[in-house]
């Protein structure tokens, strides 16, 4: 079988940094934090800081699927709707897959509906069970886009919208489809925030990855969408690495072996040595265990000199949407129109290294890439249960 190269020909994004490529690139490369809010309505008797996508979201045209998660997905699909429509004309609407990732779907809307029913005894007229189904995200997207190819949702916690790239590539390479829409969305919910609060994993303030003073994650929300095609593009999907270490239900393997395995597989798939990677977007949640194992994995696979940063201080941890949004950050970094100065996303933290961790080359403000066309980058996503994912993206 001929392994056709896959181009990431279009990308849409919405995060706490803003809506669209321009707003996100401005915040990403300046190291400006996005929109955060301290809320007391998510965790009982506790005020928590969360990253939010500001402003009203458009209602979806399908009432039974109208929830905040799908509305946010609609925003990023609208950003690339013209390229998707053009692809549908070229390939046929039945030859384009939709594979999206989420971990919460529309559960926040269900939480509000249950609260109203408890208060009034009546379900709100706007609530439909389909709004909270995991598969609802991809079913909504395929209907909204008017496509007829395979459509399904990947839900493996925080690596969900990174895993979709592997699923889509398998569909394309097997000949089932000719192109795919991938990405994902996750929105804030009480269930998620209370779960992390129970694990004592929430920071009371902005997360502080790889610092000696790190004290947990800050939750955010976001969405991304890509059009993936077997053609040359400015940004190519060059390598994919997956592993599952199944060390613990919620804690990572402290040795970092599973994370390192995913990175090595992605490099091998791309046919690149570790020295070819110009930048690493770290998973970097700022929990003590994640940062400890990830620093070991990066040092073992790529060494301590590769420029690296976690972008979660800018957006919060977007959970099932994080992998896709952070892949979108690589897309922005590699695209001349949105990064003409060849800047790297700075690592925003308190500057106090943890002497117990392997030293990493954390990106400082105004750090730049060499201005050439041979750049490759890597992003990693790690999830509960040891579901690990690494993507290599770069110029053709």
Q: What is the pLDDT of residues 259-308, one digit of tens each?
A: 999 999 999 999 999 999 999 999 999 999 999 999 999 999 999 999 99
In a domain, 371, yes or no: yes
Give the confidence band of 385 by pLDDT, cuts at 50, 70, 90. confident
Q: Are 366 and 30 in contact (CB under 8 A)?
A: no
Q: How far apart are CA 102 and CA 281, in angstroms?
A: 20
Average pLDDT (237-248) is 93
Structure tokens belonging to residue 264: 């090595």
Give the confidence band of 162 by pLDDT, cuts at 50, 70, 90. very high
Give the confidence band of 249 by pLDDT, cuts at 50, 70, 90. confident
Give bridge partners of residue 51 from the DSSP assignment. Answer: 36
Residue 244's φ and ψ, nearest 5 degrees, are -140, 105
Q: Are 358 and 226 in contact (CB under 8 A)?
A: no
Supply the range of the domain harboring residue 148: 6-394
Structure tokens belonging to residue 322: 């994080």
Is residue 247 over pLDDT 90? no
Structure tokens belonging to residue 257: 């072996």
In a domain, 280, yes or no: yes
What is the CA angle 236-137-251, rounded to 5?
75
Q: How far apart are CA 252 and CA 300, in angstroms?
A: 16
Is residue 245 over pLDDT 90? no
In a domain, 252, yes or no: yes
Give the confidence band of 371 by pLDDT, cuts at 50, 70, 90. confident
pLDDT in tens, 165-197: 999 999 999 999 999 999 999 999 999 999 999
Structural domain total, the chain = 1
- CATH number of domain containing 191: 3.40.47.10
Residue 259 is predicted with a pLDDT of 96
The whole-chain average pLDDT of the chain stands at 96
Average pLDDT (111-138) is 95
DSSP reduced 3-state for 186: strand
In this structure, are strands 96-101 and 151-154 parallel, antiparallel, or unpaired?
A: parallel
In a domain, 325, yes or no: yes
Cite the DSSP H helix spans in 206-304.
Answer: 257-270, 288-302
Spatial CB neighbours of 200, under 8 Å, sequence gap ≥ 6: 216
Tally the C-alpha atoms within 13 A of residue 250's C-alpha that lie toward its C-beta: 8
In a domain, 262, yes or no: yes
Residue 252 is predicted with a pLDDT of 86
pLDDT in tens, 40-81: 999 999 999 999 999 999 999 999 999 999 999 999 999 999
Instruction: Report the catalytic residues.
Output: 158, 283, 317
Residue 32 is predicted with a pLDDT of 97
In a domain, 18, yes or no: yes
Give the confidence band of 100 by pLDDT, cuts at 50, 70, 90. very high
Q: How far apart are CA 163 and CA 43, in angstroms?
A: 30
In a domain, 1, yes or no: no
Residue 2 is predicted with a pLDDT of 46
Q: How far apart are CA 100 and CA 185, in angstroms?
A: 8
Structure tokens belonging to residue 343: 């800047």
Q: How far apart are CA 175 and CA 1, in angstroms?
A: 10
In a domain, 338, yes or no: yes
- By residue count, the chain amounts to 396
């Amino acid at each position: 079988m001929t392994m056709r190269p896959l181009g990431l020909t279009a990308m849409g994004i919405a995060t706490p940094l803003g809506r669209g490529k321009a707003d996100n690139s401005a915040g990403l490369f300046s190291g400006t934090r996005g929109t955060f809010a301290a809320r007391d309505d998510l965790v009982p008797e506790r005020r928590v800081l969360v990253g939010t996508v500001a402003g009203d979201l458009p209602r979806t045209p399908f009432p039974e699927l109208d929830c905040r998660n799908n509305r946010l997905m609609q925003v990023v699909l609208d950003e690339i709707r013209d390229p998707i429509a053009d692809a549908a004309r070229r390939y046929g609407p039945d030859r384009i897959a939709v594979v999206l990732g989420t971990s919460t779907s529309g559960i926040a809307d269900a939480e509000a509906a249950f609260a109203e029913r408890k208060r009034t005894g009546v379900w709100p007229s706007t609530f439909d069970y389909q709004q909270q189904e995991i598969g609802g995200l991809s079913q909504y997207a395929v209907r909204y886009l008017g496509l007829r190819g395979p459509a399904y949702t990947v839900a493996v916690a925080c690596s969900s919208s990174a895993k979709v790239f592997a699923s889509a590539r398998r569909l394309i390479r097997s000949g089932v489809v000719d192109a795919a829409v991938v990405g994902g969305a996750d929105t804030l919910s009480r269930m998620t925030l209370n779960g992390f609060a129970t694990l004592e994993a929430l920071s009371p303030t902005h997360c502080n990855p790889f610092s000696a003073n790190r004290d947990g994650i800050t939750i955010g929300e976001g969405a991304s969408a890509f059009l993936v095609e077997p053609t040359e593009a400015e940004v190519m999907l060059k390598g994919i690495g997956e592993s599952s270490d199944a060390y613990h239900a919620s804690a990572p393997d402290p040795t970092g072996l599973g994370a390192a395995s995913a990175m090595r597989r992605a490099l091998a798939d791309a046919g690149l040595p570790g020295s070819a990677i110009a930048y690493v977007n770290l998973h970097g949640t700022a929990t003590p265990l994640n940062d400890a194992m990830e620093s070991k994995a990066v040092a073992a696979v790529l060494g301590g000199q590769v420029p690296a940063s976690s972008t979660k201080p800018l957006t919060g941890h977007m959970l099932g949407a994080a992998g896709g949004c952070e892949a979108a950050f690589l897309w922005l970094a590699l695209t001349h129109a949105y990064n003409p100065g060849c800047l790297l996303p700075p690592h925003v933290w308190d500057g106090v290294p943890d002497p117990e961790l392997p030293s990493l080359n954390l990106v400082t403000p105004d750090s730049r890439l060499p201005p050439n066309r041979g750049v490759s980058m890597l992003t990693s996503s790690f999830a509960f249960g040891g579901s690990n994912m690494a993507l290599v993206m770069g110029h053709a």
